[in-house]
Chains A and B, each alone.
Chain A
Amino acid sequence: MDPVAATTLPIPGLLLAGSVAALAASLWLLLPKTSDTVNSRRLGFLLGAAALIGFAATGRSLGGVGEDAVFLTVAGIAVISGLATIVTRSPVYSAIWFAMALAGVSGVLLVLGAQFLGVATIVVYAGAILVMFLFVLMLAQPSGMAPYDRVSNEPMLAAAAGAVLLGLLTLSIGRLSAAEPPACCRLPSRAQAMAAAPTEGAGSEDDRSATLLAPATAGVESVDADEVAHLGAELFGRHLFAVEVAGVLLLVALVGSIAVVSRGEATETDHRRESR
């Protein structure tokens, strides 16, 4: 069933170590520090690009999808924008970069075939949550750049910890892809059995995806037109109680935030009492 995973090369260790080191150095150089210069940031950008290329090569050694231009593009947008989100000095630019990262993540979800979630990410995150962030920034941002935006807590330790964690995750993903055949063959077949049970036409679809023409086209072809309907049936069928609980949670959050805001009127008097 899975010839690609069986023939997967193990991750080249030197490449991974180099990528991790480049990522740590790049994060340390790019994070806001008091000793920043233009040249150090430039070097950080270069090292970041090197780390990105290294991780892309690692992903390619895990499978042939590194050649899928669409996936590579949207993943690159997501990762680069995510990096820019955490290293930008200005919180407004940070929020805008986060919107770009959301666009990239939405593209990745669409490539994966989760159409509803790809659209919902844009609508809910970029449309609602991010606008709320920008409103708060407009209400709360002091004019000019605040000094606390130009320093960060322990940038070296944090960058090293994040890069090492990423290296460990990559290693475990690589071990996963070079996994034993029974584990990786049993699960898709069980899923295929589940998928083939309700409908008649699912058999031919499985045959088509089993040929594995190219990974990208197989992924696109396996997208069923009723994806949203299936997700809705699952959501409102098996997980109906959880949907109700989520609705109650939304209501409680709404009431709670309004309650806290209207209690905020009291903080004005608190201020006056403190200053007196």
Chain B
Amino acid sequence: MIPATLLTNALLVGAVLFCLGLVGILTRRNLIVMFLSAELMLQGVSVTLVAWSRYHGDWGGQVLVVFVLTVAACEAAVALVFVLQAFARTGRLDASAWQALREENLPRVIDHGLPADDRVVPTWPHLSPAGVLPEGDDSRSLERDHV
């Protein structure tokens, strides 16, 4: 059993997490980030359920969270497969790549004024050369300086 003050504070944390996930899933366009936002909403609901469960001394809330975990695992497995299929078809993880599925009376999303590729040029440390210069190999082309 937890005191009522801990209950309200935990409910507040759950509400904050839920609202952050809601904003994320509404705004972000990357399919993976949208999915992470949905998981964040699930976490907020889990905190709320556990807080009520502990407050009432009833196990129902925690049992429900166990099933939330199970369904979230299933959901992630199936949905990530669909995300991979979508990527294979369009080459992008962009939700707007599927805007052909929108309603007929809705305007088309057109990206204008997209920022140019503003990747930060990495500043390498200046080292005095020592030894022989290794030959370049193809595996280096797989490296990314930016994730």
Contact = CB atoms under 8 A, between A and B. Distances in A.
A55 to B, nearest CB: 7
B9 A62 contact: yes
Contact of B36 (A98, A124, A144, A268): A98
Contacts of A82: 16-17, 20-21, 40, 43
Given A65-B9, A136-B84, A150 B114 contact: yes
B84 A101 contact: no
A59 B12 CA distance: 7
Interface stretch (B25-33, B100-108, B130-138): B25-33
Interface string A85-97: 1100011111100
A21 B144 CA distance: 39
A110 B76 CA distance: 25
Interface in B71-101: 71-78, 80-85, 87-89, 91-94, 96
A169 B9 contact: no
B5 A144 contact: no
Interface in B1-29: 1-13, 15-24, 26-29
B2 A219 contact: yes
A219 B8 CA distance: 13
B5 A86 contact: no
B56 to A, nearest CB: 5
B84 to A, nearest CB: 6
A253 B82 CA distance: 12
A222 B93 CA distance: 47
B5 to A, nearest CB: 2
Contacts of B50: 109, 112, 114, 117
Interface residues of A, number: 119
Contact of A129 (B21, B73, B147): B73
Contact of B4 (A63, A144, A252): A63
Nearest to A2: B4
Interface string A164-194: 0110011001101100000010011001101
5 contacts: A34-B113, A85-B37, A120-B69, A152-B29, A194-B58
Interface of B: 1-13, 15-24, 26-30, 32-33, 35-37, 39-40, 43, 46-47, 50-51, 53-59, 62-63, 65-67, 69-78, 80-85, 87-89, 91-94, 96, 109, 111, 113-115, 117-119, 144, 146-147
Interface of A: 2, 4-5, 27, 31-32, 34, 36, 55, 58-59, 62-66, 68, 71, 75, 78-79, 82-83, 85-86, 90-95, 98, 101-102, 105, 108-109, 111-114, 116-117, 120-121, 124-125, 128-129, 132-133, 136-137, 139-155, 158-159, 161-163, 165-166, 169-170, 173-174, 176-177, 184, 187-188, 191-192, 194-195, 206, 209, 212, 215-216, 218-219, 222, 230-231, 234-235, 238-239, 242, 246, 249-250, 252-254, 256-257, 260-261, 264, 267-268, 271
The 6 A-B pairs of least Cβ separation, nearest first, read: A63-B5, A86-B24, A191-B57, A253-B74, A162-B23, A152-B27
